[in-house]
A and B are shown apart, each in its own frame.
Chain A
Amino acid sequence: KNEVEQSPQNLTAQEGEFITINCSYSVGISALHWLQQHPGGGIVSLFMLSSGKKKHGRLIATINIQEKHSSLHITASHPRDSAVYICAVRYGNEKLTFGTGTRLTIIP
């Protein structure tokens, strides 16, 4: 059983919509990463969180340590945001445990 759960698995939205992707994990973590993966494989790190909230452009990531939950938000979504978004957590040791990803498609 994957220790990191993401929802939804697939999300299709119209351009301009506000997007939310959720991530839940099972035990205390030292850090949580949000990653973006485009077709072909390349992964880009969007955020690394251990508490609170971070914002970069149209992307916002929040984490609630007590509830063991994180969300990634995209404001004013655009077709170029179409990708797989992956949540990954670090449980104190060095390796990351990944969720299965959320496939986001933004329709013009």
Chain B
Amino acid sequence: DTGVSQDPRHKITKRGQNVTFRCDPISEHNRLYWYRQTLGQGPEFLTYFQNEAQLEKSRLLSDRFSAERPKGSFSTLEIQRTEQGDSAMYLCASSLGGGENTIYFGEGSWLTVV
């Protein structure tokens, strides 16, 4: 399967711990997006990359959150000092360019902070 893959699919962590999620986009897709979705809500934009450059960050992305895409391929999203409010599904998506190109989503990484 050559779709967008995310790892881990589920993560339970204690408050205050750091967690890292990985996203492998579809090969050759230069755009990579991170979204967050809480129960009953639509996804919310966090950040996006074009190749290795992080072009936009949402105000939702506090200084505890950092995202990287060091070689323009896979990306990581790290959350430091997790809080219960960080519990959500973190979705990764990729596309070949922006505009009217189709966006492909991963299965998401569920985070539960206890």
A residues adjacent to B (C-beta < 8 A): 2, 4, 30-31, 33, 35, 40-45, 48, 50, 86, 88, 90, 93-101
Contacts and interface: CB of A to CB of B under 8 A. Distances in A.
Contacts, number: 68
B43 A98 contact: yes
B42 A86 contact: yes
A45 to B, nearest CB: 5
B31 interface: yes
Interface size bracket, B side: 20 to 34
B48 A45 contact: no
B45 A96 contact: yes
B42 A99 contact: yes
A107 B64 CA distance: 44
